Amino acid sequence: EIVMTQSPATLSVSPGDTVTLFCRASQSVASSLAWYQQKPGRGPTLLVYGTSTRATGVPARFSGSGFGTEFTLTISNLQSEDFALYFCQQYNNWPPLTFGGGTKVEIK
C-alpha cells in the first residue's frame, strides 16, 4: 500500500497570501496524483488531477506540480472561499487507492 503524507497539517494565512501544500508518496506514483478541496458539511470537490491539470471550473490560482513521490499544490492570492481542507490522492497503484491525511488552510 502506498502511504500518502501531507504537510503541514494546518496553515494559518491571510486573504491575498500565496500558500504551498505538500504531499509525499511512500513510493513513486508517477504523475497519478489528484487534489481535492473539502468544506464543512460538504463532499470533496476535485481541484487537480494528473498532478497539474485543473478540473473544470477551477480557478487558475490553483496550480499543482511534482512527479514521482513529491507533489505540491500552490494557491495564489488566497480568496475567502479557499479556506478549507485539502487532500491529495494517488491512483497509480491500487487497490487500495490512498489519500493523504489532509491540510487545513485557516484564516490567521
Partner 1 sequence: EVQLSESGGGLVKPGGSLRLSCVGSGFSFSTYAMNWVRRAPGKGLEWVATIGGRAANGYYADSVKGRFTISRDNSNNTLFLQMSSLRDEDTAVYYCAKGWRGERSFFDYWGQGTLVTVSS
3-state secondary structure of 81: helix
Binding-residue pattern over the window 60 to 99 for partner 1, x denoting contact by CB under 8 A: ---------------------------x-x-xx-xxxxxx
DSSP 16: T
Binding residue for partner 1, selected from 55, 72, 76, 104, defined by CB under 8 A: 55
Binding residue for partner 1, selected from 7, 18, 45, 74, defined by CB under 8 A: 45
22: its cell numbers = 505538500
Q: Where are the beta strands (DSSP E) in 1-108?
A: 4-7, 10-13, 19-25, 33-38, 45-49, 53-54, 62-67, 70-75, 85-90, 98-99, 103-107
Residue among 17 and 22 whose Cβ is closer to partner 1: 22
CB of 85 to partner 1, least distance (A): 9
CB of 84 to partner 1, least distance (A): 14
CB 73 within 8 Å of CB 47: yes
Residues that bind partner 1 (CB under 8 A): 34, 36, 41-46, 49, 55, 87, 89, 91-92, 94-102
